Amino acid sequence: MHRPVSPLLHDYKPPAANSPRKSRALQWFVVGLGLPLLGLALISTIDLSDATSVPSAMRSATPTMAATPGAEVAAAATAVFTEVPLVLAPEPEYQTLTLTIRRGDTLDQLFRSHQLDISHLAQIARLEEAGKQFRKIRPGDICEITHDEGTLVSRYSALNLTSALKVDRQESGFSAAIIDRPIEIRKRMAHGVIQNSLFESATAAGLSDKLVMNIAGIFAWDVDFVLDIRSGDNYYVQWEEIWQDGEFVTDGQVVVAEFNNDGRTHRAIRFIDSAGRTDYFTPEGDSVRKAFLRSPVDFRVSSSFNPNRRHPVLKTVRPHRGVDYAAPRGTPIKASGDGKVIFRGVKSGYGNVVILQHGGNITTLYAHMSKFAASARTGSRVRQGQTIGYVGKTGLVTGVHLHYEYRLNGVHRNPRTVKLPQADPIADEYRKQFLAAAGPILEELERFKNTQLATIAQNENK
C-alpha cells in the first residue's frame, strides 16, 4: 500500500500572520531592544539629585513584578534607581601633643608626664630607624605625638630641613620610616649703596644678617670690611631663599655677587662640583679665595703695622711688627690659612700664643689669647677659618685685643698690605661646565643692574 507523497515545496513561505511563534519573537525583540533605549531616554531626562522627579515606581524599594516577561525586565531596570541609605563610620578622634625637648629631658620622662603608654616607647626604640634617632635627641628638637587616651597612634619628628622620622602603629606593632620634607628654592636679588657701613646698607636693602656675613665672607680676601669701605661703595647680590609648606624658612647660599669698592669691581659666582663642594670663582674661573685671610677676626684695627711705634706699656720705641684688632674678650680667632700648629703656649710678652706654619716659608702668629681652642694642639693640622683660640689680654698689654703677625721667610710683613698667595683656580675637569653655567647667571645680573640704574636715574630726574 502506497502512502501519498507530499508535494515538494520549491519556495519558502513564511508562517501565517497569526502564528503564535511570530508573536512571541516580536515581543522579545521589543523587550530586548526597546527597553534599554527607553532606559537611556529616562536617564537623560531625570534629575537624580531631585527625588521628586523620579517616578514613584522607580523609587519603590520592592518593585512589583509584572506578569509578562517584558514587565519583569522593566521592573529589574527600575530597581537601579532604588534608594539605599549610606552609613559612614565616624572618624576616630585622637589627641595630638607637640613636645619640645629641653635640656635634661628624656623621652621616658616625657611619655610618663603625659600619661603615654611607656611600653610603646620601648617597642619603637627597638626599630632600626627609630632607635638611631632616639639616641640623638637634642634640646630644641620637636616631635608631634598622636594618641588615643595614652595609646600611641603615630609620632613625627623633623630630623633636618629635608627629612623626618615617621612612626605609625600597625596591627602587628609599630613601623618607622624616614620621609622627605620637600623644600622650595626661590631666588631673589638686591642692590645696596653704602653710606656708613655694610650692615646699615644691607638693612635698608632688606638683607638679613646671615646674608651679609655670607657676602663679607666671599669677598674677605679682597676687601677689609672694617677699613676699606668707602661712602658710595655699592653691591648687587642674588641669593636663594628656602621655603617649606608655603612658609619662609631661611636664607640659602649666595648665587652671584658683585661688590664695587673704591673704584674696584669684585665678582663672585657660585659653583658646586660633582662631590657637592661649594666654592666661588671670578667670571674667568679664578678662585676669589686667597691662601690667607686678610683678618683673623672681624673687628676694627686698633694698632697698625709700624716699625717706629712707641710701646704703650714700656714707653719706649719698639717696632710693632703686626696688626692689633680690638675685639671683645672671647671673640673666636680664625686661622688665616691652612697650616700646622708648631707652637701653642705662653711666650713672654705675647701671653698665650699660637703659631702656624703654612707651606715652607710662611708663618702666622696669634697673641694675647684668653684661651686656646681644644682642636688646635701642637702638631695638629688646621683649616683656613677654623677657630684656634679666643681673644683676651694675656701678656704685656693694656687692653683686650688680638695681636696678629705674618712672616715670610722669617721676615715680618704687614698683614694688611702683603700680596697674598692665590688659591687654585677651578679644576680643569669643571672649567667648561662652570663657564657654561656662569654665562646665564651674569646675563641675569646685568639685566638686574640695568633695571636698578634706570630706577635710580628716574628718581634723580623727579
Q: Where are the domains of the chain?
A: 95-180, 183-290+423-462, 301-413
Query: Cα–Cα–Cα angle for 188, 191, 192, nearest 5°?
Result: 135
Cell of 436: 657654561
Hey, what's the cell of 244? Answer: 617649606
Q: Do residues 355 and 346 lie in contact, with contact meaning Cβ atoms separated by under 8 Å?
A: no
Sorting pLDDT into bands at 50, 70 and 90, what band is 307? Answer: low
User: What is the distance between the terminal CA atoms of the chain, rounded to a whole angstrom?
Assistant: 135
pLDDT recorded at residue 208: 92
Q: Kindly list the distances between the CA atom of residue 80 and the CA atoms of 28, 32, 74, in Å, as whole numbers in the listed order.
A: 21, 17, 10
Percent of the chain with pLDDT strictly greater than 70: 75
Q: What is the pLDDT of residue 329?
A: 92
Residues 433, 435, 440: CA angle, nearest 5 degrees = 105
The SS3 call for residue 173 is strand
Least confident residue range of 161-175, 234-248, 296-310: 296-310
- Which whole number is the average pLDDT over 146-159? 90
| Fold of the domain spanning 95-180 | Nuclear Transport Factor 2; Chain: A, (3.10.450)
Integer Cα distance of 368 and 393 in angstroms? 5
Check residues 131 and 442 and name the one with the higher pLDDT.
442
Cell of residue 448, nine digits: 638686574
- Which of the residue ranges 8-22, 141-155, 312-326 has the most confident prediction, judged by mean pLDDT? 141-155
Q: In the structure, what pLDDT confidence band is assigned to residue 285 with cuts at 50, 70 and 90? A: very high
Grid coordinates representing 415 are 698683614
Mean pLDDT, range 139-144, rounded to an integer: 88
Q: How far apart are CA 73 and CA 66, in angstroms?
A: 9
Evaluate if residue 151 carries a pLDDT over 50: yes
Q: How many CB atoms lie within 10 A of CB 409?
A: 9
The predicted structure's pLDDT at residue 317: 44
- Residue range 69-97, pLDDT digits in tens: 555 544 444 445 455 566 666 667 888 88
DSSP state string for 267-309: EEEEEE-TT--EEEE-TTS-BS-BSS-S-SSSS-EEE--BTTP
State whether residue 343 is helix, strand or coil. Answer: strand
How far, in Å, CA of 222 to CA of 280, rounded? 13
**CA nearest 288: which of 321, 314, 265?**
265
For 301-413, CATH gives 2.70.70.10
Write down the pLDDT at residue 299: 55
pLDDT at site 85: 62
Res. 306: pLDDT tops 50: no
CA distance 63 to 74: 10
The owner of cell 632688606 is 206
DSSP element (H, E) containing 213: helix 209-218
pLDDT at 34: 53
Q: Who wins on pLDDT, 311 or 425? A: 425
The per-residue pLDDT for 18 is 47
Give the tens place of pLDDT for each residue, 185-233: 999 999 999 988 888 899 899 999 899 989 988 998 888 777 788 899 9
Residue range 276-281: average pLDDT?
92
Say which residue the cell 601633643 belongs to. 97
Q: Is 183-290+423-462's fold the same as 301-413's? A: no
Mean pLDDT, rounded, for 291-303:
69
Model confidence at 21, pLDDT cuts 50, 70, 90, reads very low
Q: How far apart are CA 304 and CA 301, in angstroms?
A: 7
Q: Is residue 268 scored above 90 in pLDDT?
A: yes
Cβ atoms 290, 423 nearer than 8 A: yes
pLDDT digit string (tens) for 411-424?
989 887 888 887 88
pLDDT-derived band at 270 (thresholds 50, 70, 90) equals very high
Tens-digit pLDDT profile for residues 348-375? 889 999 999 998 789 999 999 999 999 9
CATH of span 183-290+423-462? 3.10.450.350
* 232/206 Cα distance (integer angstroms): 18
Dihedral sign, Cα of residue 428, residue 434, residue 436, residue 442: negative
10 Å Cβ neighbour count for 202?
A: 22
Helices (H), 308-373: none
